[in-house]
Structure 1
Amino acid sequence: MWRGLYTAGAGMITETKRTDTIANNLANANTTGFKRDDAISREFEPMLIKRINDGKNLNNVTSFKQFSVGESIPTVGVLGLGSRIDEIATDHTQGGFQTTGNPLDVAISGDGYFAIQTPQGVRYTRDGNFYRSSRGQLQTVRGQAVLGTNNQPITIPGDAAKVTIGAKGEIMADGQRVGQLQLTSFGPDRRAVLKQGDNLYYPQQGAQPQAATGEIYQGMLENSNTNVVSEMVNLINNYRIYEAGSKAVTTQDTLLDKSVNEVGRV
């Protein structure tokens, strides 16, 4: 019975973490460039159950502590021991585009990330909602500098009347080239970059940056790839599973109560 409590409890913990993941997806449904997460669960190693006291002659000289030498023990079946969250996997599928008309808004179609200078070092993002600071530096909404292909911040002259950004990130101010956005890829391995927070990613140890194959569209932003309806369905389904685990815990507790207070009294 104790195993039943632990198994049901482990399942409830797993579904709690899955609920947190779904809630985070819903909270970022309108976050530019956000990529939804999936909580992937894994079963603990199951236990093979056998009957150890079924029709044996325990007085046999080959018997020791309820086990008999050379005797085939009937198999009952496999007992599951619960589950756990094995990985929080990020879904990197392309989000839809939204036209803004702002010349400093850019979206990536296909593979690639923008390089951002942060206090923790260079980080990467799909959020192309950029602004020009009072000093003319191209920055994110959090005031972090956007890096060019020379790994330096990009500066746009304050008196520039027209700013255009090409498909490969070339920035032209009144017809003069002032820099090029660094568009970085880490190859086909989707686990090469991990989420840091604030819509930023950092590369795993050993991940090598390379030139991306995606294209940049000016005056557009990439929406979150979260599907609100799908996430709500997952949330409801997750609640039902958690509720089933809760009922299993209650049932196991009732059986233990009867075993201790009624069967034990006899």
Structure 2
Amino acid sequence: MQTGYYAATGGMVAQFNRMDTIASNLANANTTGYKRDQLITGDFARLFKTAQSELPIANQTEEAAQYFNRALSRVPQITDAYTDQSLGAMQRTDNTFDMALSKEGQFFAVNTPQGVRLTRDGTFTINDEGKLVNKQGHEVLSADYFQTKTAITFTPQDSVVTIDKNGQISTNVPGSTQMVANKKLLIAEPQNIRALKKEGDNLYIPDPADPLTPLAQSGSVMQGFVEKSNVNAVNEMIALVEANRLVGMYQKAMDSQMNDLNRDAIEKIAVTRR
């Protein structure tokens, strides 16, 4: 295979993956609490330098020289992906059960059929059983959930509900304005945020090795607000146009390699001298 064709093919595949990621970001630009994804593009030489000490091949040998094919050293490819956990804009809603977290790396916890999941989407509501749930109907967990296994519940008499910056919920005594403490929200701050995996529905799968210890003083809960996504639609559109143009450039390079250069080679080889 012609090395130029291989390099162009690798670059095109990398841009296709990039376009898929950008499209996903744009589709979720208005999703509450969504965090944009980003891809890292590298090349074979970079990967080799990272892993050469782990390879069972001694340096400065014929085998090493054969492995390190310099013709492939600059083929672009996706080497890593990460989620940008920077804060989105805070939007005031004045809804009692809308909550936002004003600090990076902190999450609400919800109980799903697949297990406990984390989320930045604080658009909560009360279900028919009086439990605090998220948009998908998953139960929002309290700080003492792992000890008591009880839900955050409210009664029809709880006409006033306040939530302080640490997630402590208070409700009024029926028929009065006196407030009493209810449950406290489970606000978690994973130690290794890169280990979180997106599951869909704005949920993250926590690392099993990282215990979900509730923060005693999170200082980040904002009642009556929601956090918008951190996707900048203008920047994503610029990146999408750039990726699309690069695909076109790689396509022209592939066409030149397979058609123009081959045709020229065939014509020259076919010439016979008398």
Normalised-by-shorter TM-score class:
0.7 to 0.9
Shift of 1:7: 1.1
Query: Residue 161 of structure 1: which of 159, 174, 191 is its match?
Result: 159
Tell me the residue number matched to 1:184.
Answer: 188
Tell me the residue number matched to 1:56.
Answer: none
- Is 1:236 the counterpart of 2:241? The answer is yes
Tell me the residue number matched to 2:206.
Answer: 203
| Structure-1 separation of matches of 2:214 and 2:129 | 29
The one-letter code sitting in structure 2 at the alignment partner of 1:126 is R
User: Equivalences for 1:68-79 in 2 at 5 Å?
Assistant: none
Larger radius of gyration: 1
Q: Which moved more, 1:197-206 or 1:126-135?
A: 197-206
Shift of 1:78: 6.8
Gapped regions of structure 2 (runs ≥ 5): 47-69, 173-178
Quote the RMSD (CA, aligned, Å).
1.9
How many aligned positions are there?
A: 235
Tell me the residue number matched to 2:123.
Answer: 129
Shift of 1:80: 3.8
| Structure-2 separation of matches of 1:19 and 1:127 | 25
Shift of 1:177: 2.2
TM-score (norm 1): 0.82
| Structure-2 separation of matches of 1:215 and 1:101 | 17
Greater percentage in strand? 1
| Structure-2 separation of matches of 1:199 and 1:249 | 39
Percent same amino acid among aligned pairs? 38
Q: Secondary structure at the match of 1:258?
A: helix
The one-letter code sitting in structure 1 at the alignment partner of 2:195 is A
- Is 1:108 the counterpart of 2:113? The answer is no
User: Equivalences for 1:1-266 in 2 at 5 Å?
Assistant: 2-45=2-45, 80-111=73-104, 112-151=106-145, 152-174=150-172, 175-187=179-191, 189-212=192-215, 213-255=218-260, 257-258=262-263, 261-266=266-271
- Deviation track 1:138-174 (CA, whole Å, cap 9, x = no partner) reads 0011111000011242111133111111111111121
**Moved beyond 4 Å, runs of 4+:** none
TM-score (norm 2): 0.80
The one-letter code sitting in structure 2 at the alignment partner of 1:254 is N
Q: Secondary structure at the match of 2:33?
A: coil
| Structure-1 separation of matches of 2:4 and 2:207 | 39
| Structure-1 separation of matches of 2:210 and 2:253 | 44
